Amino acid sequence: MYKIAWLPGDGVGNEVMEAAKIVLDALKLDAEYIPGDIGWEFWKSEGNPLPDRTIELCQNTDCALFGAITSKPKEEAEAELAPELKGKGLIYSSPIVRLRQEFNLRTNKRPCKAYPGNPLNYREAIDITVFRENTEDLYSGVEFYPLPKQLSSLMASLHKKMKRFADQDESEVALSCRLVTKTASRNIIRDAFEFAKATGKKSVTVVEKPNVLRETSGLFVRIGREVAKDYPDIELWETNIDAMCMWLIKNPLDYSIMVTTNMFGDIISDLCAQLVGGLGFACSGNIGDDYAVFEPTHGSAPKYAGMHKVNPMAMLLATKMMFEYLGEKENAERLEAAVAAVIKEGKVRTYDMGGNSSTLDVARAVAEKL
């Protein structure tokens, strides 16, 4: 029996997880689903959107299914804290980002596939997988505001381009650090090449901006070239992030596997998601050496919370990714086939696809195909 951490989170996260449970029950997976506390309500009441008890729960399960979270800027987040927690220096940070870092879920894998019959497909036959480094870059959380004078002066002494900021009042400057390591770069790029090898794909595209971000993007691209030497049958393509966005709109069928750093991966995977119908179809796996968390990439959509309106396909496809991770290949194939059949028939569609079916209507339709 598998032990799966069940983390619905906020808003529509609860509803898409309810949909996932309908499908899991239809597949009769031998599993125990253990609920965990995560999200905005726990931030407001405890000052921690990812309580230690949830970390411990994940440490004692095989993997996690995750719904959605609400995130708000610093000042808004503090304003919603319980009165007794205000003014204590608590700073909100995303619980899913923390999960990635706590468990070193270094690989974020985001498949974007145009299923036949989806009226929202930008073009038919698009099938792109984005590999996004998941623990570093601008999402590492190393930020400063106001910028401490000591740090500002030190940086000015080390780099001449910092000098024009050093004389500004510290309250005028905020700093986020882009941290990229060779180890993490090598790991994610090798994951992309291994996936290309396993699936028979002929190219891997490294997406960065080394002509401007010479040190961080430059390092990532150099590591890409090193790793590519171990895969002579797979071609390495290199593109800049801005040009990549343009080319994906112009020639989406030219690309199958892309790999990049954390923030660029966040951006490019949402663009790819829109090519195949939007975030209602965008699933994601956060995968490490010892643990994994699977989720749809949409947010908590508070305006739709409680309405059972949103498209659960992203959640169901994330469940399919969980099956693949657990080695349940047959269940993964059955679930994807059922999802594809419901999309192709077009009888049961949520509002985003031009229909009026509910979240659970879609789940039940998929379950019937199983």
Show the 3-state SS of 83-119.
Answer: HHHCCCCCCCCCHHHHHHHHCCCCEEEEEEECCCCCC
Mean pLDDT across the stretch 333-351?
Answer: 98
- 167 band by pLDDT with thresholds 50, 70 and 90: confident
Domains of the chain: 1-108+285-370 (3.40.718.10), 122-140+178-275 (3.40.50), 143-176 (no CATH)
With a cut of 90, say whether residue 31 has pLDDT above it.
yes
* Mean pLDDT along residues 37-59: 97
Q: Does 74 have pLDDT greater than 90?
A: no
Distance CA 142, CA 150 (A): 16
Please name the amino acid found at residue 293.
V
CB 270 within 8 A of CB 280: no
- The tally of CA atoms less than 13 A away on the side-chain side of residue 40 is 21
Rounded distance, CA 285 to CA 293, Å? Answer: 6
pLDDT band at 165 (very low <50, low <70, confident <90, very high): very high
**Average pLDDT value for the chain:** 97
Omega cis (within 30) before 312: no
Whether residue 314 is predicted with pLDDT greater than 90 in this model: the reply is: yes
**The pLDDT of residue 182:** 98
CA–CA distances in Å: residue 98 to residues 69, 85, 95, 293, 305: 12, 21, 5, 12, 24
Residues ≥6 apart with Cβ < 8 Å to 196: 202, 203, 204, 231, 234, 256, 257
Query: Which band of pLDDT confidence, cut at 50, 70 and 90, is reported for residue 305?
Result: very high
Residue 84 has pLDDT above 90, yes or no: yes
Q: Are 134 and 262 in contact (CB under 8 A)?
A: yes
Task: Tell me the C-alpha distance between 318 and 312, whole Å.
Answer: 10
For range 47-57, the mean pLDDT: 97
| Phi, psi (deg, nearest 5) at residue 109 | -110, 125
Complete edge-to-edge strand list for the sheet that includes strand 283-287: 31-35, 2-9, 63-68, 292-296, 283-287, 107-113, 127-133, 257-260, 203-208, 235-240
Mean pLDDT of 162-176: 93
Mean pLDDT of 232-252: 98
Helices (H), 87-240: 95-102, 149-158, 163-166, 182-199, 216-228
User: 107-160: per-residue pLDDT in tens?
Assistant: 999 999 999 999 999 999 999 999 999 999 999 999 999 999 999 999 999 999
**What residues contact residue 82 under an 8 Å CB cut-off, 6+ apart?**
44, 45, 47
The identity of residue 108, as a single letter, is N
What is the structure's pLDDT at 243?
A: 98
pLDDT tens for 248-298 read 999 999 999 999 999 999 999 999 999 999 999 999 999 999 999 999 999
What is the model's pLDDT at position 36? 98
- pLDDT average, residue stretch 98-102: 94
